[in-house]
Structure 1
Amino acid sequence: MQLDVSGNRPQNLEYRRDIDGLRAIAVVTVLLFHYGAPLRGGFTGVDVFFVISGFLITQVLVNEIAAGTFSVLAFYDRRMRRILPALLMMLATSLMAGLVLLLPGEYTHLASSAAAAAFGVSNFFFLAHTGYFDQTADLMPLLHTWSLAVEEQFYLVWPLLLFVLAQSRSRLVMAAGVAVLVVAVCAASIFYFRVDPKSAFYMALPRSWELAIGALLVFLPAMNRVAGEIAAVAGLILIAIGLTLSPSKFPGVFALYPCIGAALIIWPRAQETTSSRVLGVLAPIGLISYSLYLWHWPIWVFYRIYINNGVPTPGEAIALCAASFAIAAISYHYVEQPFRKRRWRPLRTVGAGILSMLAILGASFYISSASGLPQRLPLEAQPMRSYETMHNWPCKAVPIKEMAGSYCVFGAPWDSAKRKSVIWGDSHAEHFAPIIEAIAVDPERSYLVFATCSAILGDENYIISIDVPDFRQRCERSHAHGLNLLQQDMLVDEVIVTSKWPELPRRVGKGDERAGLEAMRRALVKFIEAMSISGRRFVVIGSEPEFSQNVIGCAHATVAKLWRAPCNAVGASSDAPADLQGSASVDNMLDEVARGLPNVDLVFPARKLCRSNGCKVDLDGEFLYLDANHLRRNLTRQTRRDFADTIGLTDVLLARERRDERTN
């Protein structure tokens, strides 16, 4: 088949140094952003990569289709030789590093993400595993592979779609088809971002227009020198806008800046321009950009893990940057380049590539099936071997007719209990449930854990959660269900209200903490007054200390005896004055609410756990925390009791039982 690719533009595939220069800008901005430089939108370098990839690969495909030499097998032969060697080397090295640096749960997570990355589906993996209780995203060594997965999924479809469009034998028809795809998918992506921003970030389909806009350039006429110079300058300005102004919630409309900017720079030129020559100076960095992108993030993350989840100093960041460039250069010359030269027939290359992917899968499966090899840890570290272990506290889910669902219930059976308590809050209601269970003494009292949303959300107040697109609606529904239960069931004589309080004023007030705090006060007073009946009391648990990641990482690693930098977190403190100051505004507001209502008792964990010289992080020889602000749920029963005593919860919750005993 002969495709009409005539037009006022070059049809050869001459090397363009300016594109490698643009690659250099893209990878360096991503690296600087990840390494802590004040570059607000440095992540948009990935979008520039997408546009470059769409242009270069489509250019090759169109020329092959025109020459009648197009082959799907040959295409994947090239992709495997280009992508797999350096990727698989990085994945194998990461698995070896994880063996000595990571807790078993973290190692299992790494192994699963490595298998997903090897097969080009890590974007699905990280979409599913970057939620509230998953490992912190910025400590996932392979998180950056999501963008490779997006590209590989795009290229599963793109060659065949392009071949179908080529049946028209008209460059104009192909250009129109690609243009329609770009506009339609871009518009849909912007709309979808408002509905589900997390999926819009990770998924290939909402991102496909970025690669397609690069593909569209292949069919456009070449610019003359003057137009080319103007376009390049405009493109650099648009990329700079994306780098400096892009919001953290991305892509959305802001993805247009780096993508259109990159397209203006890549647009074919009839003659070489001054801007092309200037960009070409950066070409040597662009040549190693793929390896640099692959290696810079795991180098950064593994070093952070080594220093117990801390943040590298500026000097350390510079050293890590230099190491990334050095390793990238080695990878480019001794891993990438040798495999780019075709040695075997395409079928053999594809077969070898699949076998290599299966090797990573096999290693990952072994690690995952062995639960991250917990035998590496001493016996005393086993209760802290994974987030799942520390998070585990068995609780039977019981249907509650007034709330249209099943919820954790402990103590006496809910339907036959003479007295009932509701623990209402977010994830903090869940981690206080084991503490309350350990001190419960009334055999006829049942406890329901209503851990959905804070009690101050769902009426007039709301917050936005990127992990849960319909979070506002969920809170409204759960709030209505909770109110219905308290209105219908007169046996509920105790409501324990807790939450992750310190973050709420800013989020409720949409950045205005004072307005958010006042909105919270009104909501809490309204809630308590509306749900108050004779004999019902409310216990409000105030703010808890929040710890930095390095305190948590150091404590876990010290107990586990992993290969980490020396530290002394177990028994040490976080920044106590900052903890107390951060919780003071909310706790003072809660104090004000309690003084105005007769049936409210207060517990202030931060005030009890923190002193001027630090905050308590362990008790009875057990480290208390799962992460920066959640308690371990698998603490021993005695430690849970002692914790309740320490923060004053025992005295408050058991005061009624003791009064009843004296009365009887």
Structure 2
Amino acid sequence: MPNPHQPSHYRHDIDGLRAIAVLLVVFCHMELPFFSGGYIGVDVFFVISGFLITKIIYRELQEGSFTFRHFYIRRIKRLLPALVVLLAFCAVAFAATLSPHDLEKFTASMVWVSLFAGNFYFWIHHGGYFSENAKEAPLLHTWSLAIEEQFYFIWPIALLLLIRLLPLRVLPWLLLIALAVLTYASELALNYSMGASYYLLPTRFFELMIGAVLAVWWNKLPMPGKYFSLVVSIAALASIAFFAVTLDAQSRFPGFNAFYVCVATAALLYCGQQVHNPIARLLSLRPMVFIGLISYSLYLWHWPLLVWLNYRGIELSVIGLVVTFLTMLLAAWLSWRFVEQPFRKNTFSLKRLTLTWFAAPVATLLMVSYVTQHYQGFPARFDYQTVEIEKALNSFSNVIRGECHSSFRQRHQQPTTDCQLGDSDAKKTGFLFGDSHANHFTGFLDNVGKAAGIRITDYTMDQCPPIFGLSWGSSSYRAQGCKQRNQQAQKFIKYQNPDYVFLAASWPHYRSRFVFRDGVHLLSAEEIEQEVYEKKRETMLFITGFNAKPVIIKDIAYAGSHDPKCTLKNTMFSTERNCLLNHNHNTMMINIIERLASEFEDLYVIDAKQFYCDGIYCQAELEGIPLYRDNDHLNHVASKLLGTLYLSSGAWISPSP
């Protein structure tokens, strides 16, 4: 998040660097080619902000002129007026656009954003930064603003204490050690939670620290020479461009990847002081400086505009993209000229600023959010069909099943017969295990179990396919956790001896990046297929060895970039968007299931796609009910509907082909 703060000697090249940062973010969010990693622009901003703010604080602390009152007056004047104006505009624009449930989430997010805790809200309610539902959160981008403000509540106090308690010659070295520890901790945290690592301060602290460390070392470093600064600047700028092009939504981030970007940014800041540096001169060109000056407002306004267009299903042509970008620039300039600039130049007391731009907006937004929650997003704005469609979309099997479904952090939970599907009084028993795709079939199996007289225990966990002995995960650590989880499923089968074992998952495919063998990451399609087949066969042998019938549930059609709310938005906005999906086929699992079916006579296969897919396309709805809740999961209402259709087809379980 851009956070400009001019030092005593103004440097045009820093505004140019801000321009690069904000354009990377904007072009990434506009989904332009070659900018899949443009989100690193936020990390560039973090370094710039940490450098400039620390330079001011460090100088004032040494001079004895630093006061928290003046510091926070500057912060409030710089950030809050533009943010509050944006919130006011968004409240009006999205109140007339969002569905009832989405309006509830939006008004709640405004409260969190106004309290500089938006990063927690978006982590809790949207999970990953690149999840599909995150594209419809108008204030998602303000997570970075929360990170910076949380940093500035901690950093001045920490720096003040360090200066008072330590000799000045020790401080720079201590900060370097702390920086190394925090960077390694950020990389390590990615093994536990990618979402939390992306959104929360502890794993982002090192990025602002890189700028802060540069500021503390500034007067101890020699002035870079002309040729040295040119070579280093070119290498640094090329590094930023490289990561902007090569990183994507699947990359490990922040961690070491963010560290490389931040070091490159620090190098540009350091070398930019050399007046004969051509890269610094390039960054100091008037168009670059102009965009840098409005970068904070541009960052604030670009994302809500994109969300508004996306939510209404407006697809942009090349001309549309150009017009949208120019509209962003205009909104940013207006905000900078008539909101940012006047407040930066005028004098206000801390009390007046706090009451006007913090306390009053927070109180207003709390009231707005309370009324919106109380009236459940004002569903009377829409007809009955629209409201029912949205209820289906927001029926989440993982929420409905509660502790029967686990996140990775809860992987040590044991299977329990308290988690029951189907006929609770039946003598026949079943056991469902697998990942979140097994969880989204709980509605399906609940209907099947009731009709067939089976009492089914469900035991599911995110990103853990039901294949015994398979090392599967985004890291070797997570792969080991999945193996341990499946070992607990093995024990349940062994000691509870169910009649049926249902296995469902987002099954591995040829492009899977998560398969390990003996700690080695498998990349070739042949190795991946062979490893999955062998472990899947061992799983079948284990299940049939205890006289249970294995039932494999094939995966749903992956929706890709399809909007799961397509049906809802057609009814909301009276449009006729094409909601069909491409029928994609997991060729690897088709081959593996065919091989297993020829070996195991008792193996059954369920394929729910038969009810909404043909050879080419898949429906996004059945009987007026949308099938998906995101691009990769069924909603619970649709899951139960598919179970009913399966039963009405004449058999509760179909023999495998």
Taking structure 1 as the reference length, the TM-score comes to 0.84
Deviation at 1:529, TM superposition (A): 1.7
Deviation at 1:18, TM superposition (A): 0.9
Deviation at 1:143, TM superposition (A): 1.9
Deviation at 1:155, TM superposition (A): 0.5
Q: Which residue of 2 aligns with 1:223?
A: 223
Aligned: 1:379 with 2:384: yes
Which shows bigger deviation, 272-281 or 436-445?
A: 436-445
Letter aligned with residue 425 of structure 1: G
Q: Which residue of 2 aligns with 1:149?
A: 146
Deviation at 1:595, TM superposition (A): 2.0
Instruction: Map 1:417-436 onto structure 2 (within 5 A).
Output: 417-436=426-445
Instruction: Name the CA distance, whole Å, in 2 between partners of 1:121 and 1:543.
Output: 37
Deviation at 1:391, TM superposition (A): 2.4
Aligned: 1:364 with 2:369: yes
Q: Deviations over 1:91-141 (max 9, x none)?
A: 232233332332222222222222222111122222223338986233332
Q: Which residue of 2 aligns with 1:622?
A: 625
Aligned to 2:459, the other structure's residue is in SS state strand
Q: Which residue of 1 aligns with 2:282?
A: 278
Aligned to 1:102, the other structure's residue is in SS state coil
Instruction: Map 1:436-585 onto structure 2 (within 5 A).
Output: 436-440=445-449, 445-452=454-461, 457=466, 459-465=468-474, 471-490=478-497, 492-501=498-507, 506-509=512-515, 510-532=522-544, 536-559=548-571, 561=572, 563=573, 566-569=575-578, 573-576=580-583, 579=584, 582-585=585-588
Instruction: Name the CA distance, whole Å, in 2 between partners of 1:60 and 1:427.
Output: 49
Letter aligned with residue 532 of structure 1: T
Q: Which residue of 2 aligns with 1:129?
A: 125
Q: 1:383 to 1:277 in 2, by over 3 A?
A: same
Deviation at 1:598, TM superposition (A): 1.0
Match of 1:410 among 403, 411, 421: 421
Instruction: Name the CA distance, whole Å, in 1 between partners of 2:233 and 2:28.
Output: 23
| Contact preservation (8 Å) 2:15, 2:289 | yes
Match of 2:83 among 59, 84, 87: 87
Letter aligned with residue 61 of structure 1: I
Q: Which residue of 1 aligns with 2:306?
A: 300
| Contact preservation (8 Å) 1:307, 1:550 | no
Deviation at 1:54, TM superposition (A): 1.3
Which shows bigger deviation, 600-609 or 12-21?
A: 600-609
Q: 1:60 to 1:507 in 2, by over 3 A?
A: closer
Q: Which residue of 1 aligns with 2:519?
A: none
Q: Which residue of 2 aligns with 1:3?
A: none
Identity %: 26
Deviation at 1:316, TM superposition (A): 2.8
Aligned to 2:501, the other structure's residue is in SS state strand
| Contact preservation (8 Å) 2:437, 2:506 | yes
| Contact preservation (8 Å) 1:424, 1:455 | no
Aligned to 1:340, the other structure's residue is in SS state helix
Q: 1:178 to 1:422 in 2, by over 3 A?
A: closer
Instruction: Name the CA distance, whole Å, in 2 between partners of 1:163 and 1:239.
Output: 33
Instruction: Name the CA distance, whole Å, in 2 between partners of 1:380 and 1:495.
Output: 38
Deviation at 1:307, TM superposition (A): 0.9
Deviation at 1:551, TM superposition (A): 4.7
Instruction: Name the CA distance, whole Å, in 1 between partners of 2:388 and 2:382.
Output: 10
Aligned to 1:390, the other structure's residue is in SS state coil
Match of 1:29 among 18, 24, 33: 24
Aligned to 2:586, the other structure's residue is in SS state helix
| Contact preservation (8 Å) 2:611, 2:645 | no
Q: Which residue of 2 aligns with 1:316?
A: 320
Q: Which residue of 2 aligns with 1:349?
A: 353
Instruction: Name the CA distance, whole Å, in 1 between partners of 2:616 and 2:224.
Output: 69
Q: 1:340 to 1:600 in 2, by over 3 A?
A: same
Match of 2:51 among 44, 55, 58: 55
Instruction: Name the CA distance, whole Å, in 1 between partners of 2:188 and 2:630.
Output: 35
Q: Deviations over 1:541-571 (max 9, x none)?
A: 2232233454522202223x2x47x2244xx
| Contact preservation (8 Å) 1:425, 1:452 | yes
Q: 1:442 to 1:21 in 2, by over 3 A?
A: closer
Q: Which residue of 1 aligns with 2:408?
A: none
Aligned residues: 624
Match of 1:203 among 182, 200, 203: 200
| Contact preservation (8 Å) 2:139, 2:303 | yes
Aligned to 2:376, the other structure's residue is in SS state coil
Instruction: Name the CA distance, whole Å, in 2 between partners of 1:341 and 1:596.
Output: 79
Instruction: Name the CA distance, whole Å, in 1 between partners of 2:73 and 2:365.
Output: 19
Letter aligned with residue 370 of structure 1: Y
Q: Which residue of 2 aligns with 1:266?
A: 269
Letter aligned with residue 472 of structure 1: A
Q: Deviations over 1:50-81 (max 9, x none)?
A: 11111211222233334433210111111011
Q: 1:522 to 1:621 in 2, by over 3 A?
A: same
Q: Deviations over 1:348-377 (max 9, x none)?
A: 212322222333333234333433333322
Q: Deviations over 1:488-538 (max 9, x none)?
A: 234x22222222236586245454344323322222221122221586322
Taking structure 2 as the reference length, the TM-score comes to 0.85
Deviation at 1:318, TM superposition (A): 2.6
Q: Which residue of 2 aligns with 1:159?
A: 156
Gaps of 5+ in 2: 1-5, 406-412, 516-521
Letter aligned with residue 645 of structure 2: F
Instruction: Name the CA distance, whole Å, in 2 between partners of 1:324 and 1:211.
Output: 27
Instruction: Name the CA distance, whole Å, in 1 between partners of 2:304 and 2:169.
Output: 44
Q: 1:336 to 1:498 in 2, by over 3 A?
A: same
Deviation at 1:251, TM superposition (A): 1.8
Q: 1:635 to 1:506 in 2, by over 3 A?
A: closer
| Contact preservation (8 Å) 1:624, 1:632 | yes
Q: 1:461 to 1:146 in 2, by over 3 A?
A: same
Instruction: Name the CA distance, whole Å, in 2 between partners of 1:169 and 1:498.
Output: 58
| Contact preservation (8 Å) 1:73, 1:346 | yes
Q: Which residue of 1 aligns with 2:186?
A: 189
Instruction: Name the CA distance, whole Å, in 2 between partners of 1:329 and 1:159.
Output: 31
| Contact preservation (8 Å) 2:50, 2:211 | yes
Aligned to 2:559, the other structure's residue is in SS state coil
Gaps of 5+ in 1: 1-10, 656-664
Q: Which residue of 2 aligns with 1:13?
A: 8
Instruction: Name the CA distance, whole Å, in 2 between partners of 1:236 and 1:59.
Output: 23
Instruction: Name the CA distance, whole Å, in 2 between partners of 1:238 and 1:165.
Output: 33
Q: 1:78 to 1:508 in 2, by over 3 A?
A: closer
Match of 2:103 among 99, 102, 107: 107
Q: 1:573 to 1:164 in 2, by over 3 A?
A: closer
Q: 1:273 to 1:28 in 2, by over 3 A?
A: same
Match of 2:176 among 171, 176, 179: 179
Deviation at 1:632, TM superposition (A): 2.8
| Contact preservation (8 Å) 2:415, 2:489 | no
Which shows bigger deviation, 176-185 or 278-287?
A: 176-185
Q: 1:316 to 1:446 in 2, by over 3 A?
A: same
Aligned to 1:218, the other structure's residue is in SS state helix
Deviation at 1:16, TM superposition (A): 1.0
CA RMSD of aligned residues (A): 3.4
Aligned to 1:611, the other structure's residue is in SS state coil
Which shows bigger deviation, 91-100 or 220-229?
A: 220-229
Aligned to 2:471, the other structure's residue is in SS state coil
Which shows bigger deviation, 56-65 or 132-141?
A: 132-141
| Contact preservation (8 Å) 2:127, 2:195 | no
Q: 1:536 to 1:251 in 2, by over 3 A?
A: closer
